[in-house]
Amino acid sequence: MTLLALESESLAKAIRRLILETIARAKASHVGSCLSIADILAVLYGQVLNVRSNEPSWLERDRVILSKGHAAVAIYATLAECGFFPKTWLDTYSQDGSLLGGHVSWGVPGVEAATGALGHGLNIGAGLAIAFKRAQALALRAGSSPAFKTAQASALRAGPSPAFKTAQPNPSGLHDAKDSSHTASQWPKPATPIRTYVILSDGECDEGSTWEAALFAAHHGLNNLMAIVDYNKIQSFGRVDEVLKLEPFADKWRAFGWHVIDVDGHDHAALLAAFEHAKTIQDKPQVLIAHTTKGKGVGFMEDDNLWHYRPPNSEQLVLALEGLNSEDEGYA
């Protein structure tokens, strides 16, 4: 196991611990759905994403949309663990007046989009990806990073439309200094493309809007977009195969024009390799079909639909945390 993998394993356990404590405290639901994606989030936030917890507004950050918004506690726990906001905020989860709602809420540092109604995230992600494609193309033309828009913003604040116009990308790469205090040459050369990651549930793939986005992203060759399907094979009422079959699932995505990567969604090294491989794909959006176990990490919750809704009581919480700790020893 690499050093980095060790870090993400410990991050995953920290996330799981926060998930269990937060959901038990609030007597909330969806603990199984949250535990299912803890490893994916740990690898993403621990090793893959280009984000800054102390500067959530950084324009060139990678974007993550948790489209399966019912797993809100998982993303809140991850963001808190990574320092986007104090972990004490989790104590307020679902309380009167809290920022942290039962489904991913708008207004939380590090949250890119509010979700909860399924079948929205991939469409928003496709919009982000195509906007970044254009921004990058303009930046390349102008010889600046996508942050050229920050220069435009500064110019806009400085005055009305004349300054606004001077900050536009200029094919020559030159700007008249008297028109704007910022010139394209002041900005770094085009940096790593901004990538957008959208985490979907398997049940969410019942939604037609998800496949509208799949068509769109492939049509436009959005290789800066990656979908991650948390394929734990259980949805609200039962097994995916019993409710509405998705198989042959990978073939469906392939037929829609996506680059498909099948992976064990709890194997950190495999996840990391998959994320790195996805970055090399030139002409297609990528989908990571992450084979996961609902409730992963807590033996008595694993692969049991009961934990889609039931919160652990205080005794169950103790048992669950003990289970995580024993896993700690195993990893050590």
Partner 1 sequence: MRNAFIEALLGEADRHPNLWLLTGDLGYGVLEPFAERFADRYLNVGVAEQNMLGVAAGICLSDTLTSANASGVDAFRCDTLTSANASGASQASQNRHSGESRNPGQGASNMMDARLRGQDELLTKQDLNENIVFTYSIGNFGTLRCLEQIRNDVCYHNLNVKIVAVGGGVAYGSHGYTHHAVEELAILRTMPNITVIAPGDPAEAKWAVQKLVEHPGPAYLRLGKAGEPKVHPQAIAATHGLDTPFVLFPDVSRPAVTMFSTGGMLANCVEAAKGLMQAGVTVQVVSVPVLKPVPADALQALLAQSPFVLTVEEHVQEGGLYSALCPLALALAQPPQMISACLQPHVIGKIGSQDYLRSLSGLSTEALVKTVLAFSRPRAGVTGRE
53 belongs to the binding site for partner 1 (CB under 8 A): yes
Q: Closer CB to partner 1, residue 71 or residue 155?
A: 155
For partner 1, the closer of residues 63 and 259 by Cβ is: 63
Q: Which two tokens stand for residue 109?
A: 């540092």
What is the total residue count of the chain?
Answer: 332
Which residue among 102, 116, 221, 323 contacts partner 1 (CB under 8 A)? Answer: 116
Least distance from partner 1 to the Cβ atom of residue 85, Å: 4
Please list every residue from 147 through 176 that binds partner 1, using CB under 8 A: 149, 152-153, 155-157, 161, 164, 167-169
What is the H or E stretch that residue 199 is in?
Answer: strand 196-201
The single residue among 20, 35, 110, 143 that binds partner 1, judged by CB under 8 A, is 110
Torsion from C-alpha of 8, 11, 13, 14, nearest 10 degrees: 180
- Shortest Å distance, C-beta 261 to partner 1: 23
Among 56, 221, 257, 323, binds partner 1 (CB under 8 A): 56
Pairing status of strand 225-231 against strand 196-201: parallel
- State which residue, 93 or 249, has the beta carbon closest to partner 1: 93
**What contacts 280, CB < 8 A, 6 or more positions away?**
none
Find out whether 239 and 294 touch, Cβ atoms under 8 Å.
no
Restricted to residues 203-232, the positions that interact with partner 1 (CB under 8 A) are 208-209, 212-213, 215-216, 219
Regarding 25 and contact with partner 1 (CB under 8 A), the answer is: no
d(CA 272, CA 7): 12
Whether the CA torsion 245, 251, 256, 260 is positive or negative: it is positive
DSSP 207: S
C-beta of 12: minimal distance to partner 1 in Å?
Answer: 11
